[in-house]
Structure 1
Amino acid sequence: MPSDVEYSPVGEALGLRDYWLYVWLRRAAVIAAHVTGLGLTLLISLLSRPGTSLFSWHPVCMSVAYCLCMTEGILLFSAEGSPFCFKSRKCKVRLHWFCQALVLIAAATGLGFMLASKNVSELPHLVTWHSWLGISTLAATVLQAACGICMIFPKLLPLSSPLKLKLYHATCGLVVYLLATVTVVSAMFSDWFQATVKGVAWWGFLLLPLFPALVVMNQITNAHLPRKKITR
């Protein structure tokens, strides 16, 4: 029995009158998301002063993993404003895998520095909401990577339609990215961050991770949102 669901970008339903405005707004949003992810990573790295302590490497590694690599690994599939828009689909998939591998390496390294810092300071582990969210995000990232492997080897999962596997992978990826965004935001409520950044600047940092998350959410839902076929 044929499926009653098709996968089509939401933007295809837009009228010609608003087409160019829609394209340029999306292009500007994607470019701004690239700049925001890179800028947030650089700012956190500067604030952390890497090398001054074991803990100082933790924010650096985690921001590189989730604010930069994961964001770029998803946005490279965007047709608007992506520096890789001229690449083939096969090349984009390879770049996506490379970025996600960097996410796992950087996140595991950041976790290692945090564990080492806690052990040296003889402080307890997993006592804050941020730590629990961080562990959950890392576990979800590993599971999403396993789902990505199944995308390359679809026979590993007994699914009848490759489109379903693609939809599951995109949906789980969105959940992981949103979970990572919540984890990054929760880090800004930590004692270290509030002692480092204060006043209006703190509110600015709090809002920065939300913009790339909105762009990523819009990209994934537009590309993979199921829509009922219209029968006449």
Structure 2
Amino acid sequence: MSIAFCLCLTEAILIFSPEGSLFCSFSHKIKVQLHWTAQMLALMAAAVGLAFIISSKNRSELPHFVSWHSCLGLLTLLAMCGQIICGLCLRFPRQLKIFSMAQLRLYHMMYGLVVYLLATFTVALGIYSDWFQAQIKGVAWYFCLGLPFCPALVIMNHTIRTHVPKKQYCI
């Protein structure tokens, strides 16, 4: 489930990238719909993963939310729900009487970057867990630990380069 979550979340953001998306030739309206669909798939993958973990913890009678990975994962899931609410405000501005769409769009993008980075660190903490370290050893473990940060750097570069307003400085 975590792989589906990561792939859907990454592609949902990169849908709007002019050079890095499979959907670069689609209209903006279709890209918004694809973005929305990918985000819902990522949320469903996270919810199913959470349900499986809670079920597993209940069966083995282990305590819930005691690791950094689990606490940050829950925070990421809650932040993602907040991000979806912000996206709904962008999707239906007339019904919600939102006036500053440009500013809300910028907040949505920056908050999305924060959610993506939270997800990246959640995955990294999962790789750092005792269970994962028992499964994967040696150089492969270091490769797995660094792997989630590669798309995070691409997402950060894309978001900042394309959406942060550029200030002009006089020298």
Q: TM-score, normalised by structure 2?
A: 0.94
Pairing 1:221–2:165 present: no
- Per mean C-alpha deviation after superposition, the further-off stretch among 82-91 and 195-204 is 82-91
Does the CA contact (< 8 Å) of 2:57 and 2:64 recur in 1?
A: yes
Letter in 2 for 1:152: R
Asked if structure 1 preserves the Cα contact closer than 8 Å seen for 2:12 and 2:34, the reply is yes
Hey, what does 2:12 align to over in structure 1? Answer: 73
Q: Computing the radius of gyration over CA atoms, which structure comes out larger, 1 or 2?
A: 1
Aligned pair 1:205/2:157, yes or no?
no
2:78 is aligned with 1:154: no
Helix, strand or coil: the match of 1:185?
Answer: helix
Q: What is the aligned partner in structure 2 of residue 175 from structure 1?
A: 114
Runs of 4+ aligned residues of structure 1 deviating over 6 Å after TM superposition are: none
**Identical aligned pairs, as a percentage?**
55
SS in 2 for 1:83: coil
CA distance 1:228–1:158, shift in 2 (3 Å) = farther
Q: Deviations over 1:26-80 (max 9, x none)?
A: xxxxxxxxxxxxxxxxxxxxxxxxxxxxxxxxxxx12211x20000111111111
Aligned partners of 1:158 and 1:143: how far apart in 2? 18
1:78 match: secondary structure:
coil
Q: Counterpart in 2 of 1:63?
A: 3
Q: Secondary structure at the match of 2:55?
A: helix
Q: Does structure 1 conserve the Cα–Cα contact (< 8 Å) formed by 2:128 and 2:145? A: no
Distance 1:168 1:155 in 2: 18
Which of 170, 173, 191 aligns to 2:130? It is: 191
- For the 8 Å contact 2:120–2:148, the answer to whether it is kept is yes
Higher mean C-alpha displacement, 81-90 vs 220-229: 220-229
Q: Secondary structure at the match of 2:104?
A: helix
1:160, distance to aligned residue in structure 2 (A): 3.4
Deviation at 1:106, TM superposition (A): 0.8
**Residue-by-residue CA offset, 1:105-135 (whole Å, 9 max, x unaligned):** 1100000000000000000011110010000
Give SS of 2:166's match: strand
How far, CA to CA, are the matches of 2:99 and 2:23 in structure 1?
32
Q: Partner amino acid for 1:100?
A: Q
Letter in 2 for 1:64: A
Superposition CA RMSD, Å: 1.5
What are the equivalent positions in structure 2 for 1:60-139 lying under 5 Å apart? 61-65=1-5, 67-139=6-78
Structure 2 unaligned residues grouped into runs of 5+: none
Q: Is the 2:17–2:24 contact (alpha carbons within 8 Å) kept by the matching residues of 1? A: yes
Corresponding residue number in structure 2 for 1:46: none
Equivalent-residue separation in structure 2 for 1:62 and 1:81 (angstroms) = 22
- Which SS does the other structure have where 1:228 is aligned? coil
